Structure 1
Amino acid sequence: MDAISTGTLLLILAFLVLCSAYFSATETAMMSVNPYRLKHLLNENHPGAQRTHALLQRRDRLIGLILVGNNLVNIAASAIGTVIGMRLYGDYGIAIATAALTLIILIFGEVTPKTLGALHPERVAFPSSLLLKPLMKVLYPVVWLMNRICNGILGWFGVSAEQHKGHSLSSEELRTVVHEASAILPGQHQSMLVGVLDLEKATVEDIMVPRNELVGIDINDEWKDILHQLSITQHSRILLYRDSVDDALGFLHTRDIMRLVLKEQLNKASLLRAVHDIYFIPEGTSLNTQLVKFQHSKERIGLVVDEFGDIQGLVTLEDILEEVVGEFTTDIAEANSEEIRPQPDGSFLVEGSINLRDLNRELHLNFPTDGPKTFNGLVLEYLEDIPQSNLSLKLLGYPLEIVEVQDNMIKLVRLYPHLKQD
Structure 2
Amino acid sequence: MFGLFAKKDVTKAIGKIEKLFEKGYKGKAIEKAEALEKDANESELSTIRGLKRQIEASLIDEYLSKADAMVKKGCTDEAIEWMDMALDYISDPHQKKEVENQIQQLSVLEEEEDQPESEVAPEEMPTEAQDRDAYFETLINMLKDEYLESCQALPEAFQQAYVLSHSGQYRKALELLNSLSVEGDPVPMIEFEKARCLMALEAYGEARTVCEQVWDEFGNESIDLAEAVSIPVLWTECCLQQKDPVAIIEKVGELAAPRKGNPALTLLVSFAFEMDEQFEEAVDLLSRAIRRFDDPNFSYHLARILNDQGEWENAAQVLESAITPSCSGSCYGPPLHFPSLHMLIGIYLTDDRALEAAGKLLNEGDKKLMGRKSKEHLLLWSAYHEKTGNTEWAAKARTMAESAASGIGSGDTPQIEAGDQAVL
TM-score category of the 2 structures, normalised to the smaller one: under 0.3
Q: Give 1 or 2: higher strand fraction.
A: 1
Q: Give 1 or 2: higher helix fraction.
A: 2
Q: TM-score, normalised by structure 1?
A: 0.19
